Structure 1
Amino acid sequence: MNSTYSKTKTSLYRRLYICYLIDSGINTVPSLLEVTEMPRRTLQDAIAALAEMDIKCTAYGGTINRSYTISCWGPIRKQYVKENLQHIKGVLGCS
């Protein structure tokens, strides 16, 4: 993560990136961990915090086979995330 960005910004962008991935079909904890290279706890906390942004993320399946879907992006424009994905990934230090 780039230290020139605030924790608030990186937290927001982390959540947006996770939403984008879930919506794109990368929707299980193992696949999200592989793509994002985030610590498991950070990833799980970010998913749990989506509701604070009025993003509806629903979990399906058991603890082993759990997958997620985004049924409502709340106040976030999904198109904005798509159009700014490279910048979002850059802020997070993702390739």
Structure 2
Amino acid sequence: MTHSKTKTSFYRRLYVAYLIENGIATVPAITAHTGMPRRTAQDTVAALAEIDIHCEFVGANKSGHYRISDWGPVNQRWLHNHIEMIKAVLAY
């Protein structure tokens, strides 16, 4: 089954936010865990604000990490309950 670009983009953002929340909180860690290109990971983290997930970088450039400070309209319970479906849509 194919999914729209809108759906996969939204799910990618949710998945990256989920990873950050669960300690996979740097671009190198996200790329290693998912296999997504570095630029895609960077762009996805930057795009979290577009869906009102507030993500901030904490620490020094080389040793810092991302942190979700506000999930906005996203229901974390729904995300945790559907993470396997999201990963399947994204083929991760």
- Indicate the RMSD between aligned Cα atoms, in angstroms: 1.1
**Hey, which bits of structure 1, 4+ residues long, moved more than 4 A?**
none
Unaligned runs of 5+ in 2: none
Q: Normalised by the size of structure 1, how large is the TM-score?
A: 0.91
Cα pair 1:29 1:66 within 8 Å, conserved = no
CA shift at 1:29, angstroms? Answer: 1.3
Larger RCO of the pair (alpha carbons < 8 Å, separation 6+)? 1
Q: Normalised by the size of structure 2, how large is the TM-score?
A: 0.94
Give the match's secondary structure for 1:18: helix
CA shift at 1:36, angstroms? Answer: 1.1
Once the two structures are superposed, the pairs formed by residues 37-52 of structure 1 within 5 Å of their partners are 37-52=35-50
Cα pair 1:57 1:72 within 8 Å, conserved = yes
Q: Is the aligned partner of 1:53 residue 2:51?
A: yes
Unaligned runs of 5+ in 1: none
| 2:23 paired residue number | 25
Count the aligned residue pairs: 92
| 2:90 paired residue number | 92
Match of 1:8 among 3, 6, 28: 6
| 1:70 paired residue number | 68
